[in-house]
Structure 1
Amino acid sequence: MFYITPDLKSVKDMFKKLYLVLVLGATLACSAKPAKHVNVDGSNNIQPDEKQAIVCKTIATLISKYNYKKVELNDSISSIVYNRYLKMMDESHNYFLASDITDFDKYKTVLDDDVKNGNLSDVFYIFNVYQKRYIDRIKYSLTQLDNDFDFSKNDNFTYNRESLPFVSSETEMNKIWSERVKYDMLNLKLAGTDAAKNKQTLKKRYESLLAQANKLNNQDVFQLFMDAFTEAIDPHTNYFNPANAANFNIEMSRQLEGIGAGLNTENEFIIIKSLTAGGPAEKSKQVNVDDRIVGVAQGADGEFQNVVGWRVENAIALIRGKKGTTVRLELLPKGLSVGSKPKVVELVREKIILKDESAKKEIRTYNENGKTVKIGVISVPAFYLDFNDYKSGNPNYKSTTHDVKLLIDSLKLEGVDGIVMDMRQNGGGSLLEAVDLTGLFIKTGPVVQVRNPNGEVEVDKDEDPSVAYAGPLAILVDRFSASATEIFSGAIQDYGRGIILGSQTYGKGSVQNAIDLDRVIPPSILERAAALVGKDKVTKTTTTGSQSVFGQLNLTIAKFYRITGNSTQHKGVTPDIAFPSVIPLDKYGEDTEPSAMPFDVIEKSAYTKVGDFNAILPQLKKLHDQRMETSPNYKYMLEDIADIKKHQTEKSVTLNEQKLKEQRDQDEKKAFEENNLRRVAMGLPVLKKGQTRPRNEDLDFLKREAGQILTDYISLDNKFTNTTPALRN
């Protein structure tokens, strides 16, 4: 099964930020007993285990033999991995000392040998130094809370030190962190709270960071290093530890098996933050938002495990499970004191459909020369597929194409005149779904070409002659539209089936295969690793109710091309009508990734265009440009883009209270006034100071403009009749 893996750029950035502050509880999990001991200074000396050594060697072999780029693991790659690893931990040079880097440099050219041999001692040594430095910094910050800071001085805090050298002494480091604490304190002071309360707030914040740091385990370190290693090969070859693999598959299928509750942590408690409508927890009427989970037991008579102080993903691993099985929870309702007796709720797990993360529809109306035009908008967040149901032959398997087909049928019944497919922020997903979704809008024909490392090209075609929708169509994309989205939007553009609107897409033109490492590693080794984990420690968390021992490797095995022969690699899909990009093109995209593959071209497929917008596009662009010339929203969007570029160059902030307050007051006033001007421009009432914006209120200017462009097309279509037969199929 081929996957076009989602472009996880934004998610990875979030992960890296979490790593930087060592708050990994919401993203990473460990199915094995943490391998660490506590040093005399209180820091954790985290050690790798045999299971990780096996995974490391296996992945090194798979990458060397089967990765599309055929990269040799050598000293050059080792140096790239080394630099990535350090950057992931300390990008802004706030923790390591220059002497640490000098010490680490001996590992720069040996990490390639380490991964091939499964030797993780060097990697863990570097991380343990990092964690010690981190804990030292937080402890030092706690000692600064009783200082009387002078906010009248014209000091600055440099928060982005990436271009500066690592500091050479602890004295210099203390100065940086004193400034950081001062900045934290100034932020709270400007919020209007008193000094005593601010000190308590920061004390709790820093102590929480220390607590999170002490919950780190060897899976966290291993995942971090494997990210550095695999992304040095190419940006989309990724290793997922067992828990992350389960989460990846939930993302791909948009469903899971569990109780239907969203969890988070708060003051050492696992808190229920949301309930899925129709899920076991909601249907029981005994589980409520803000309930605290203090214990979890399996089955009707299993022993309760106390989960107070647990990382949230470890608690989730206990609560998720196979459909039809029973889980019991000990709950403390909101308002009940900690010492109270918890209530016990018994729930039977079910399959939970993640509707909020699936395709959705809406209808927008436009007035065109006195006529009302109805435009349906279908928002598609990803190309998801329940592969297990699909493989088992279930005709009702959950997928993007099935969901969109139902939405199209509904929109047609409601009499829409055109459809906009909103594919912004859609990082991709299943290759099969990209082909099938395209098939909803064309009769038959090739959709994408896939070339393997041997140069062999396979053409994936839509062979279903039925067309779900043959009317006017536009596709809205942005810089984070990637991979499968680029296959779909590229095919729609190449066939002349629809108009592409938005900004240049991400440029991910590679194919990944999801490899369950349990199926690759010999059974004898698997059994030994399972024994190392311990049967009582292996928690079942995937959608099928089972979790792998070794995790999953998403390996780049092929490159895809449009039916024109052009790769989307680096260049992405260029819209027919371009919108300015709020997402910085020079910061995000395949062409910003050092290890990305280049753009190239192969022979085109044999296909017949079904439409041609060349005659009508100049008029559509003219109408669009005329609107933008007088559009306040367009003006504010350009100002937002300019502000983003300006802030990207900023690396420090003033610690002078008056200056910072004036700056923020000006920014707040400008934002408030511009927000109301935007609202007026979109026909919405202005808000008063302190008034909360109504829920579900739509201020999406670009989506509105996309619908207007399609409305223009519908109005002009009779003047450009050469496009009509094609679009109507």
Structure 2
Amino acid sequence: MSLFVTLSRSVALALMLVVTSTTAQAALKPTDEQRQAAVEVADALHYGHYADITFDEAWSQEAFQSYLDFLDGQRAYLLRRDIDPYRHLEEDMAEVLFEGDLDEVFDLYERLNQRHTARLEWLLEKLDEGISFDFDSDERIEIDREDTPWASRESELDELWRKRLENDALTLALADQDEEQVVDNLRQRYEGQLTRLRQAEAEDVFGIFMAAVTSTIDPHTNYLSPRQSESFDIQMSLSLEGIGALLQADGEYVKVASLVPGGPADRAGLLEPADRIIAVGQEEGDMVNVIGMRLDNVVDLIRGPKGSTVRLDVVPAQAVDMTRSHTIEITRDTVSLEDQAAHGEIIEVERDGEPHRLGVINIPTFYVDFDAWQAGEEDYRSTTRDVSREIERLKEEGVEGIVLDLRNNGGGALQEANSLIGLFIDRGPTVQVRDAQGRINLYGDTDSGTLYDGPLGVLVNRLSASASEIFAGAIQDYGRGLVLGTTTFGKGTVQTLSDLSHGQIKLTRAKFYRISGESTQNRGVEPDIPFPSLIDPERIGESSLDNALPWDTVQNVQYRRYGEPERYLATLNERHDARVAENPNFRYLERQANLARQLREQQTSVSLNREQRQREMEAQEAEQLSLENQRRRALGMPELDEWADARLDPTNDDATDENATEEDEEEMPVDRAHVLESAEILLDYAHLQHMHQLARKR
């Protein structure tokens, strides 16, 4: 078995088979190997999962609904009469799983396949007949139909698909494609989906069913087919040559779940979490439309040899219209330990005309060179060792405090999170791990002494997960420092990977708890001083995932407190608010996040009228552009003419220039404001602590 305590791998694999557009011309039937694997998965879920699962009628209803959602989540293919013959599965799904009786599961998929095939052929016929490019109707089309009742008549779906075809054409037309290009691109898209339908195998159907079943339990428990198991092993060894982006399915689209720290996409700064990839191309040749393509097939297109270039047509996470895509190029590479190594810098903060030096150590992941460690080598690389060297260097430079930057750190080796905490405390517990039987194992730092006992800050964001949350939670519980930023991801569960007779199962087996007794699951770690962020917590994070295990508590353990940061929070927040009220980057982040939330809530449909669609799109982008240019004017930067340019501007990406001068700080990326303000807060904290200590001595 293997133990996993990271965010990104579990998220990327949790939804590997959401897309349904796959089938073969001959009816697909379950194999004996798949029937046996279903029984083994049932036993694993029943006897091995952390949660106490009751496979009763209520569970069967949920599993059946989940299967329908995986097959046709937008209610666009199946009719009510297609589903009615299988309604008894609402009571029998548990029996289907435990007995490996998969025939009706495959039959329902086959019905979906027939409807899907017929619909694609219908669309191609409409293209052959010719479509109108007037786009002058007053109609609108819903964006999300997951709560729409199943259609009773095929004519209802004809109307839906007429609108979908018109919307697909309008989307391409608004992207400055002429009529011939629009028709050619749509035909390529639909023919590609039809080809993939006809190439499917029984393994695809079984994978969809397994994904539907395991998703009812929790989002990190998944079945991996033999093919997926092989890909997972390659990924775990870090020998996979690609762009270093972990992907997940999002309806018909492929969405970026997270970026591998130090990977090609992370270094390029052109791709962000929640971006959607709609086409993939190699260094030369045409772009391949991947809307509706299976996730693992999209991954295969993006993967390639080191040094080669992949082109991606990307719709930014903040885009309010799918027409606003742009093409980026990323050079494929491998991710080495060196790329993910911790590194530090010194920030100077001026107060009353006097300079003050604060240290910042960026920790992309919790890593350790396991091979060198197991071989007994004395100089093996690890997070703790690299951070220790940075701390020693910063102490020699006379810094007045240190900020540990854990933003986008999705976790890693649990032993490194424990040992890293030990650099800042003198022995003690760090995390509790509770298994399915209720047994609690306590992990901690056993080495006496501390490496650094000065003012400490921990900077986190929504993509700080798992081991990062353990570290931040322990520092907060010990009162050892301040946690700054945004609420973390909330992944507080542990998975193991076990072999089956056919494939593997990744199973949630345990749960993390802080030494205070609170779980990190679902809620994450809440910062002492919150910062605004453009990462939408309703789209990224444990609480955004279906059937995430709940937050709860266990008994706290005994530990000593090293400080009382809460004593200073009112003053720190007051000073922080006063500073950021005048900080253009902070004002921008807060206003842009509010605007994105409003647009998401308001936009439930899009117009099929070209002029109206253009007006709505331009109005929304004008608001976004106005906020961006307000920021730029305040910083003395040149204004932009179009909102699309903001994404490609170097002052808006997440890359930082460690050699920048103080005069260059205003030209830094928006998120750089988080680092600079963390240094300001930590300096305030250091001064308040010093004043309190002086007062106690009097």
Q: TM-score, normalised by structure 2?
A: 0.76
**1:306-321 to 2 correspondence within 5 Å?**
none
Contact 1:2 1:431 in 2 (8 A): no
Matched, 1:487 2:439: no
2:200 counterpart letter in structure 1: L
Q: By how many angstroms is 1:656 displaced?
A: 0.9
Distance 1:218 1:447 in 2: 46
- The RMSD of aligned alpha carbons is 4.0
Matched, 1:453 2:453: no
Distance 1:8 1:370 in 2: 48
Distance 1:133 1:408, change over 3 A: farther
Distance 1:228 1:635, change over 3 A: same
- 1:196 corresponds, among 180, 188, 195, to 180
Distance 1:291 1:516, change over 3 A: farther
SS of residue paired to 2:212: helix
Distance 1:716 1:501, change over 3 A: closer
SS of residue paired to 2:448: coil
Matched, 1:172 2:156: yes
Distance 2:343 2:121 in 1: 48
Moved more, 60-69 or 463-472: 463-472
Distance 1:675 1:260, change over 3 A: closer
Distance 1:723 1:563, change over 3 A: farther
SS of residue paired to 2:556: coil
SS of residue paired to 2:203: helix
Matched, 1:234 2:218: yes
2:488 counterpart letter in structure 1: T
SS of residue paired to 1:239: strand
Distance 1:260 1:596 in 2: 30
**1:522-671 to 2 correspondence within 5 Å?**
550-580=502-532, 582-585=534-537, 589-591=541-543, 595-649=547-601, 650-671=603-624
- 1:61 corresponds, among 43, 49, 54, to 43
SS of residue paired to 1:192: coil
Matched with 1:143 is 125
Matched, 1:117 2:99: yes
Unaligned runs of at least 5 residues, structure 1 = 23-35, 40-44, 265-274, 278-288, 293-309, 321-328, 335-349, 527-549
Distance 1:376 1:208 in 2: 53
Q: By how many angstroms is 1:708 displaced?
A: 2.0
Q: By how many angstroms is 1:500 displaced?
A: 0.7
Q: By how many angstroms is 1:625 displaced?
A: 1.0
Distance 1:559 1:669, change over 3 A: closer
- 2:650 corresponds, among 677, 690, 694, to 694
SS of residue paired to 1:201: helix
Contact 2:459 2:678 in 1 (8 A): no
Distance 1:362 1:657, change over 3 A: farther
Distance 1:559 1:227 in 2: 22
Matched with 2:7 is 6
Q: By how many angstroms is 1:156 displaced?
A: 0.9
Contact 2:21 2:196 in 1 (8 A): no
Distance 1:20 1:47 in 2: 17
Distance 1:333 1:636 in 2: 32
SS of residue paired to 1:421: strand
SS of residue paired to 2:491: coil
Distance 2:90 2:571 in 1: 57
Q: What does the per-residue CA deviation read over 1:27-53, in whole Å, with 9 as the maximum and x for residues that have no partner?
A: xxxxxxxxx8523xxxxx333333333
Distance 1:373 1:176, change over 3 A: farther
Q: What does the per-residue CA deviation read over 1:639-669, in whole Å, with 9 as the maximum and x for residues that have no partner?
A: 3333333333332100111111122223333
Q: What does the per-residue CA deviation read over 1:488-542, in whole Å, with 9 as the maximum and x for residues that have no partner?
A: 1100111122211123333333322x2331xxx5xxxx6xxxxxxxxxxxxxxxx
Matched with 2:111 is 129
Moved more, 492-501 or 79-88: 79-88
Contact 2:458 2:483 in 1 (8 A): yes
Q: What does the per-residue CA deviation read over 1:672-698, in whole Å, with 9 as the maximum and x for residues that have no partner?
A: 343233334456444455865238665
1:135 counterpart letter in structure 2: T
Contact 2:482 2:528 in 1 (8 A): yes
SS of residue paired to 1:144: helix
**1:74-473 to 2 correspondence within 5 Å?**
74-145=56-127, 146-249=130-233, 255-256=238-239, 290=283, 353=336, 356=339, 359=342, 364-384=347-367, 390-391=373-374, 393=376, 399-402=382-385, 404-405=387-388, 408=391, 417-465=400-448, 467-473=450-456
Matched with 1:497 is 480
Distance 1:318 1:193 in 2: 29
Distance 1:403 1:252 in 2: 22
Moved more, 679-688 or 606-615: 679-688
Distance 1:79 1:94 in 2: 21
1:3 counterpart letter in structure 2: F
Moved more, 716-725 or 89-98: 716-725
Q: What does the per-residue CA deviation read over 1:182-217, in whole Å, with 9 as the maximum and x for residues that have no partner?
A: 112112222333212221122222223333334433
Distance 1:656 1:551 in 2: 49
2:615 counterpart letter in structure 1: E
Distance 2:245 2:561 in 1: 49
Matched with 1:721 is 690
Distance 2:200 2:343 in 1: 38
Q: By how many angstroms is 1:167 displaced?
A: 1.5
Matched with 1:50 is 32
Matched with 1:19 is 19
Q: By how many angstroms is 1:562 displaced?
A: 1.0
Distance 1:319 1:218, change over 3 A: farther
Contact 2:408 2:461 in 1 (8 A): yes
Matched with 1:283 is none
Unaligned runs of at least 5 residues, structure 2 = 247-261, 265-281, 286-295, 312-332, 657-667
Identity rate of aligned residues, in percent? Answer: 33
Distance 1:260 1:110 in 2: 43
Distance 2:432 2:574 in 1: 35
Distance 1:202 1:83, change over 3 A: same
Matched with 1:535 is none
Q: By how many angstroms is 1:155 displaced?
A: 1.2
Distance 1:554 1:404, change over 3 A: farther
Matched, 1:676 2:629: yes
Contact 2:410 2:463 in 1 (8 A): yes
SS of residue paired to 1:565: coil
Aligned residues: 611
Distance 1:644 1:372 in 2: 38
Q: By how many angstroms is 1:13 displaced?
A: 8.2
Distance 1:398 1:89 in 2: 46
Distance 1:616 1:114 in 2: 59
Q: By how many angstroms is 1:130 displaced?
A: 2.6
Moved more, 709-718 or 694-703: 694-703
Distance 2:336 2:551 in 1: 38
Distance 1:9 1:413, change over 3 A: same
Distance 2:337 2:193 in 1: 31
Q: By how many angstroms is 1:575 displaced?
A: 1.2
Q: TM-score, normalised by structure 1?
A: 0.73
